[in-house]
């Protein structure tokens, strides 16, 4: 009589053991899947931040072949195409991202950004207009400022540049763009402090240094700005101010600045030499 009971207990133990093993295998499988997902996410982030743009394009394209409905992989491919300078190819990918049910307003902002890179300002503006005003982000306002600039809506542009600068810890690019906007409006005096602000946040931003030289030359001030610069940068800034001086009719000052640029440059400064020859009527 004990044997059936013992058999039942043993059978129950075997089934329990089998269930435990199955449960253990499932747990291990889930753990492996979790680690794989984390590894894939880390790889994707690495590709977007530090990877070669073309390698990143190939990576995301290959991943999408395995998982074509993944909106995160579609975003990765679109961003990588933009980084690689393949804007025309990035546009349809961004459109596909925006059409995805899991897309968000940041995706629309990036689509607008890509339209601007493609010089399609009308589509960029239309895309931004589809985003509710409650969506406030640095990239959104940066693009709004650029579009307002393109339409010469200066007060609106100033508002958006100021707002964008307050929404990032690295506003040097915004201040540089804002200053350049002031230059194009013929307001070099207002542009100068904006370039200085850009350089306070990023002392190595050469475009801001060059624009600062233009702003000073636009005011008739041909002295170099007191900012950090290499010897080669110093020569280029002198050249920039020389060309600005010549265009304003200050030919003598322009010649002096060109001569200084040639002497300052650590190597042969072909552009400055050609400009000097042009001023001297082609002699030498």
pLDDT the model gives residue 13:
45
This prediction's pTM: 0.78
Nearest to 74 by CA among 87, 60, 59: 60
Q: How far apart are CA 210 and CA 118, in angstroms?
A: 25
pLDDT the model gives residue 32:
38
Architecture of domain 46-103: Alpha Horseshoe (1.25)
pLDDT digit string, tens, across residues 250-283: 899 999 999 999 999 988 888 899 988 888 875 4
Q: How far apart are CA 233 and CA 231, in angstroms?
A: 5
The list of the chain residues with pLDDT below 70 reads 1-45, 47-51, 282-284
Domain spans, the chain: 46-103, 230-284
238 burial class (0-12, 13-18, 19+ CB within 10 angstroms)? buried
DSSP character for 170? -
Asked whether the beta carbons of 53 and 80 are under 8 A apart, the reply is yes
| Long-range Cβ contacts of 130-137 (<8 Å, 24+ apart) | 131/105, 132/105, 135/105, 135/109, 136/167, 137/105, 137/106, 137/109, 137/167
pLDDT the model gives residue 40:
55
Q: What is the dihedral of CA 73, 75, 77, 82, to 10 degrees?
A: -170
Q: What is the dihedral of CA 140, 145, 146, 150, to 10 degrees?
A: 140
pLDDT the model gives residue 44:
65
pLDDT the model gives residue 115:
97
Q: Tell me phi and psi for residue 133, to 5 degrees.
A: -65, -15
pLDDT the model gives residue 39:
52
Q: Tell me phi and psi for residue 91, to 5 degrees.
A: -55, -50
């Amino acid at each position: 009589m004990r044997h059936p009971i013992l058999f039942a207990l043993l059978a129950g133990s075997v089934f329990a053991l089998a269930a435990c093993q199955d449960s253990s295998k499932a747990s291990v499988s889930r753990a492996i899947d979790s680690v794989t997902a984390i590894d894939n996410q880390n790889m994707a982030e690495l590709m977007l931040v530090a990877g070669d743009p073309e390698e990143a394009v190939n990576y995301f394209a290959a991943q999408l072949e395995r998982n074509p409905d993944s909106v995160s992989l579609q975003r990765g491919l679109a961003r990588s195409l933009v980084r690689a300078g393949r804007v025309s190819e990035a546009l349809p990918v961004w459109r596909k991202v925006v059409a995805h049910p899991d897309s968000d307003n940041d995706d629309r902002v990036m689509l607008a950004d890509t339209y601007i890179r493609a010089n399609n300002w009308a589509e960029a503006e239309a895309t931004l207009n589809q985003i509710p005003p409650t969506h406030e982000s640095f990239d959104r306002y940066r693009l709004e400022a650029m579009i307002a600039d393109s339409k010469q809506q200066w007060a609106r542009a100033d508002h958006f540049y100021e707002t964008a600068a307050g929404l990032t810890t690295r506003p040097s690019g915004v201040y540089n763009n804002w200053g350049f906007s002031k230059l194009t409006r013929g307001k070099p005096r207002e542009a100068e402090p904006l370039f200085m602000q850009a350089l306070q946040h990023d002392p190595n931003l050469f475009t801001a240094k060059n624009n600062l030289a233009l702003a000073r030359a636009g005011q008739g001030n041909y002295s170099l700005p007191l900012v950090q610069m290499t010897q080669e940068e110093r020569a280029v800034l002198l050249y920039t101010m020389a060309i600005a001086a010549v265009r304003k009719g200050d030919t003598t000052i322009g010649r002096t600045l060109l001569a200084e640029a040639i002497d300052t440059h650590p190597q042969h400064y072909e552009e400055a030499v050609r400009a000097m020859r042009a001023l001297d009527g082609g002699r030498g």
